[in-house]
Amino acid sequence: MQQNIEDNQDKISLNELFFILKKRFFFITKTTGIFVILSILYLFIATPWWEVSATLEIGKYSTDNGKGEFKYLEGGTTLSERLKIKYIDIYKYTKNRDSKIESIIFSKENPQFITIVARGKSNELALKQLNTLLDEVKLKHKKILESVMITKESEIKDTNRTIYSLTNYQIKNIKENIIFIENLELPTLDQKISSLSSELDRTMSQQKSATSNLSAIENDSSLSALRLAEIQGLEYRISSNKLNLIDLKKEKENMIKSRLPELKREIERLNRVELVKLNETLNLLQSSMKNNNYIDTQIIGNVLKQDKPIKPNSLLILILALFTGTIVSIFIVLLTNNQGQRSVFN
């Protein structure tokens, strides 16, 4: 029974509500119309904002490691943060601007791609603002590329100079040293050894002869003393010549078994190791100087322009005006109706 009474009361309330809204329909329509008219006036008065956008690919260059790897001119995160500070944060509280950079976003999957959105009171102003930013980035990255190319050209010159010096001076000097040893020092040593050997044989023959004749003059003390002195002198010369001969033979052996092999091994090392490394480095540097190893910062595709202003959004504003006008007018109707009922009861 109680439930039926409450349902009847709800029906009466809804009926009263619809009756009131129907009765004040003209007021609701007029109020909503005023909101719509005001929104249309705002659309006529409001300054339109146009939007342009572009996706920028950061340039890169070869790293010269022979693996085909590239290094980007600037990190995507670093570049986007730098541009945000310069073109967005600094002008955050600046009013009455004709154009501005709206957003700078880099791709997390591919940080070398950055999307830049600019807005302006006309497409031309927005495009001019966008081009200002793009030109600044391109110029900075172009200077980096030029610096890299100058550095590589300098490295190529240095490598060529090193190869030239190694081939025409270092290796050449070692070869000349080998020729000098083989054609002059060794023959000179052989002559010295031969001459010293002959002298040693003569001295030994003289010493033998003097020793054999010593018995014939043993009764003459003065002659015997002279002969003994002569024999001692010959023995000293023999001993000295033998030592010199040993030194000469050791020197010759050192030249043949040590100095010459070392010099030849050094030539082999310079030719097979140092020159090969230098030529590989030179080839990599020269290969990296090709145009396809230098990719400048550039726009991917075309700059995107809007056919209509991005602001104000006419359709959205009209819908909001219609919705707001309806809600406000209904609220006013219900409020005035409640106040009227209260005055009657009072």
| Alpha-carbon span 118 to 102, nearest angstrom | 5
Residue 34: name the closest of 324, 287, 257, 340 by CA. Answer: 324
Question: SS3 of 255, please?
Answer: helix
| Alpha-carbon span 344 to 346, nearest angstrom | 5
For residues 122 and 47, the answer to whether their CB atoms sit within 8 Å is: no
The pLDDT assigned to 342 comes to 52
The pLDDT assigned to 339 comes to 61
Beta bridge partners, 294, equal: 61
Residue 121: name the closest of 35, 217, 46 by CA. Answer: 46
Residues in the chain: 346
pLDDT tens digits, one per residue of 186-223: 999 999 999 999 988 888 888 787 777 666 566 556 66
Q: What angle do CA 67, 69, 75 make, to 5 degrees?
A: 160
The pLDDT assigned to 43 comes to 61
pLDDT tens digits, one per residue of 219-268: 556 666 777 777 788 888 889 989 999 999 999 999 999 999 999 999 99
Name the phi and psi angles at 100, rounded to 5. Answer: -165, 160
For residues 67 and 288, the answer to whether their CB atoms sit within 8 Å is: no
The pLDDT assigned to 6 comes to 45
Question: SS3 of 50, please?
Answer: strand
**Residue 86 tokens, joined:** 């310069």
DSSP 92-158: TT--S-SEEEEEEEE-SSSTTEEEEEEEESSHHHHHHHHHHHHHHHHHHHHHHHHHHHHHHHHHHHH
For tokens 């550095």, name the residue: 151
Per-residue pLDDT of the chain (346 residues; tens, 9 = 90+): 444 434 444 444 667 767 776 777 777 788 778 877 777 776 666 677 889 999 999 999 887 766 677 889 998 889 999 999 999 998 888 888 889 999 998 887 888 899 999 999 888 999 999 999 999 999 999 999 999 889 989 999 999 999 999 999 999 999 999 999 999 999 999 999 999 999 888 888 887 877 776 665 665 566 667 777 777 888 888 899 899 999 999 999 999 999 999 999 999 999 999 999 999 988 888 888 887 888 899 998 888 888 887 776 667 767 887 888 788 877 777 777 766 555 544 4
For residues 64 and 308, the answer to whether their CB atoms sit within 8 Å is: no
The pLDDT assigned to 346 comes to 45
Alpha helices in the chain (DSSP H): 2-23, 25-45, 76-84, 123-165, 171-180, 186-212, 221-254, 260-269, 275-288, 314-345
The pLDDT assigned to 27 comes to 78
| Alpha-carbon span 44 to 209, nearest angstrom | 140
